[in-house]
A and B are shown apart, each in its own frame.
Chain A
Amino acid sequence: MRTTRSALGQLLDELRLLFGQTFRVLAKLAAPIFGLLLVGWSAYILASLAASALACVVPWVVVPIMAVCVVVQLACILAVLRLTALHLGMPQVLARTTLHTEVSDDRDTSPAHLMAVALLPFLGMYAGFGYLSDFTRSAVVVSSYRCGIPALLTAFSPQLDGDFSAGGMSLWLLVAIVVALQLLKRIFETLRERVRHPIVPAFAQISVETLMAFLMLLGGFRLWQELDLWWTDTVVALWWRTFLEWALAATPDLVVQIWTTVTGFVSDTLWPLVVSDVLRPFLWLAMAGLVFGTRALALTDFWILGRSRRAGRRSRWVAKLQEDSETAQGLRLVTTKAAEFALGGVESKLLPAWQSLRLVLSAGWPFLGAFAIAFAVIDKARALPHLALVLLTGGHPGEFWLRLWPIEGLIGDVLVLGFMWVMLAVAYTRGLSIFAERTAQSELDAVLVAGPTITAALKQSRWQAVSVVAVATVVVAAVSAIPATVEADYRDGVPGEVVSIDEFGMSIGQPRLAKQLSGYEPKNTNLVFLVVPVELSNPGPHSGSYQLSIKAGERTYRPWDGTMSVTARPGFRMSTEIVFEIQPDDAGPGLELLARRLEVLSEYQQVARFNLGLEPDAAVLPTTEVSISVWAAA
């Protein structure tokens, strides 16, 4: 029990230290930190603005602009991390390890060197966590809003059938561009190692890498889709599907149920928890370490060197990768060189991040637990400005949110993320300090040989570790479970009642159930037809269309005849009847009709929700006639 209390006490101490130190740093460095983050944020927004304005006319220009703006934003973040690290006395911490004289680091003296060395792995991590794809998605959405068509996607979509009437480019052109950019990247990479001032080739290389990433996000994904479609149509895929169906039929129901439950838990709960709440914070922390310089990372080098005989399988694997590229011959040489050409050198991306992660993980359970909790809290806080805004303003069409988008992002991306970046730097410094404290009493040899291994650090006390991990997991899971979004601004109604939604008025009549639809060509169903009379009134001057769906518990039904939406022209009202084909079991109480505005950009919308009010034993008519659309002035 005393061990548990002590462990939790350490956890709380670490948490207090992380938050307290972060506030202290911000109090001292708020001006340069928020100034830099505002510059980075402006670059991000201006890139989106360029996408919205230029994508309709010259989509090719948009991608380099986006690439440069992302590099500017990342550079600002790196400068913030470095500034914080130096303010926290990182050089002094490193000096205590007695290694500073052995390793020189240009990052300390030149911001350009810092960018050149740290931006590339930083960009990789940034892309890995989906920030680049989020950025691309935003650019596609705003350009679609502006152009009326997804102009960016259209321009970069490879047309495999050679039909360019809807825009797009040749598949071979896309492949040629990617290969050319890859070649260019390698040229810059080589130049970077050979010229006296490597800053320019380094920045050019990073820009080319970003450009390639955007190109792949905008057009490359279509190749994957085509490959997937091709695979689906193959005989082998058919055999595989047949085998799965056979295996499923031959498996007892209980086993299938258990399998479904277990895989559902893993994919819906466990995996997101592990990746988003456990793995993500530590990878971000490892990334923060990259800007601390080779001296910090060299600690891990020395540490690994000291116990090279006991080096882990992963270290050996990395070493083998390097050895392979140096000693390969013949076909192996070609393969290795091709892989290196495609992926870049392992030392530039994999090793720094891996070293940094090892260093972070050696800091012990109380620190790791406290950091995971702090990260989860700040991460959740990032969503709060949006939540507060939607609760204050209510549901609105996409244009409203589009106007507010940068202002809303200003709070989350500058204020909250600013706090996060500083906390990451504080945490990394703390992790390094823990490492330094352990080795401060020793001579260099002792550092090399007797440094704690990851396993040893994490298993200092098994009971302590279990307590901290349990508490941290519960807190992180609880913080993650706090809802950060609200689905929609529901406007409830019943048949015969007019519901105000945006500038429109919507009402429904009494719904009918039937087995057959009469008319020019009668239609029958083995299920049940649900016919809902709908009236949409648009007294205002703006257009709008609404998607209708029926919700029956977990099931959602779309209009049976494929009707995409109902529309009322400005100044008009339109009455029509919408037909749904539903399961007989669902034809009763609890059925709801939802009307959601159809728009390119949808955020927190007003949604009309009608309870259809069907009785448990609602009569199913043998046949019913469906009215055609009727228009009138609103």
Chain B
Amino acid sequence: MTTPTTPLWTRRLQESGNRILAGGIALALITIGAWLYAAKDDGQYRLQRVAPGPAMISDAKVELVRIFLPTTVDRSTLDPPAGTTDVAAEVAYDFTQSPDADSCSAILTAGEYTFASASWATIDGNWQTCEPGMNNTITYIFEVPDHLVEQVDGVGILILAYNFDFVSVANFETPHFPTYHTVLPGRIS
């Protein structure tokens, strides 16, 4: 009967146990770091701040003209929420060089807060949106809690691609989720 011996590979594993452990710990730390970095945001709703002035989103040009407090707002039968102020933002867009650009939407940023445009409110009763192949200026209305009006610092624009579907509702430079709002900086004038 021969005496069984420990195979070479398991002997190597045992002998280099500390090195394997060190490697395992290093890999685990890298993994945790990568995980925590990736988990910083949910990736669905990102703001990409750009410099003041005109900004290009793919072939479309957008520019924040001004942010102001309108004297009148038409919201048909609805009352404004108590404790809020209407803030308007004028945005110029140029879709003439961008055949895929179909429409756009906007948010108002105020520090960490973001407010979607109040689609039920307009300056003059005419609802506006970006038109394919056109260049124009449109005005969005936002309802902002009084105590946050001073913090308003920009307008985020999202351009929707032509023939968009469920999956590709996004800036057409990234035809998938997550979606990016390009934030044009500006203060209330």
CB atoms of B178 and A148 under 8 A apart = yes
How distant is B32 from chain A, measured CB to nearest CB, in Å? 6
Given contacts A95-B1, A146-B178, A38 and B28 within 8 Å (CB-CB): yes
Chain A interface: which size bin? 35 or more
Chain B contacts of A101 at CB under 8 A?
Answer: 1-2
The SS class assigned to the A binding surface is helix
Chain B contacts of A56 at CB under 8 A?
Answer: 43, 176-178
User: Residue on A with the closest CB to B39?
Assistant: A403
Within 8 A of A (CB), among B1-28: 1-10, 13-14, 16-25, 27-28
Number of A-B contacts defined by CB within 8 Å: 164
CB atoms of B83 and A633 under 8 A apart = yes
CB atoms of B20 and A32 under 8 A apart = yes
**Complex formed: what's the CA distance from A46 to B112 in Å?**
31
Contact string against B for A residues 484-497, beta-carbon threshold 8 Å, 1 for contact and 0 otherwise: 00000000000000
Chain A contacts of B96 at CB under 8 A?
Answer: none
How distant is A485 from chain B, measured CB to nearest CB, in Å? 23
8 of the cross-chain contacts (CB-CB < 8 Å) are A39-B27, A45-B32, A45-B35, A49-B38, A79-B13, A86-B10, A147-B44, A166-B166
CB atoms of A147 and B147 under 8 A apart = no
CB atoms of A95 and B4 under 8 A apart = yes
**Complex formed: what's the CA distance from A109 to B148 in Å?**
71
Contact string against A for B residues 28-41, beta-carbon threshold 8 Å, 1 for contact and 0 otherwise: 10111011101100
Top 10 nearest A-B pairs (CB, nearest first) are: A91-B4, A38-B24, A633-B83, A35-B20, A31-B17, A633-B145, A35-B21, A35-B24, A32-B17, A541-B112
User: Residue on A with the closest CB to B32?
Assistant: A406
CB atoms of A42 and B4 under 8 A apart = no
CB atoms of B24 and A34 under 8 A apart = yes
Chain B contacts of A91 at CB under 8 A?
Answer: 4-6
**Complex formed: what's the CA distance from A46 to B4 in Å?**
39
Chain B interface: which size bin? 35 or more
A100-B2, A108-B4, A154-B167 known; 7 new pairs, CB 8 Å cut-off, are: A49-B35, A92-B4, A98-B1, A148-B178, A631-B81, A632-B84, A634-B145
Contact string against A for B residues 155-188, beta-carbon threshold 8 Å, 1 for contact and 0 otherwise: 0000000000111000000001110000000000
How distant is A298 from chain B, measured CB to nearest CB, in Å? 15
Which of A92, A147, A399 lies at the interface centre, i.e. has the most chain B CB atoms within 10 A of its CB?
A147
**Complex formed: what's the CA distance from A109 to B144 in Å?**
72
Within 8 A of B (CB), among A121-167: 145-149, 151, 154, 165-167
Chain A contacts of B28 at CB under 8 A?
Answer: 38, 41-42, 410
Chain A contacts of B17 at CB under 8 A?
Answer: 29-32, 35
CB atoms of A165 and B166 under 8 A apart = yes
CB atoms of A38 and B27 under 8 A apart = yes
Chain B contacts of A302 at CB under 8 A?
Answer: none
User: Residue on B with the closest CB to A91?
Assistant: B4
Chain A contacts of B176 at CB under 8 A?
Answer: 56-57, 147
Chain B contacts of A94 at CB under 8 A?
Answer: 4
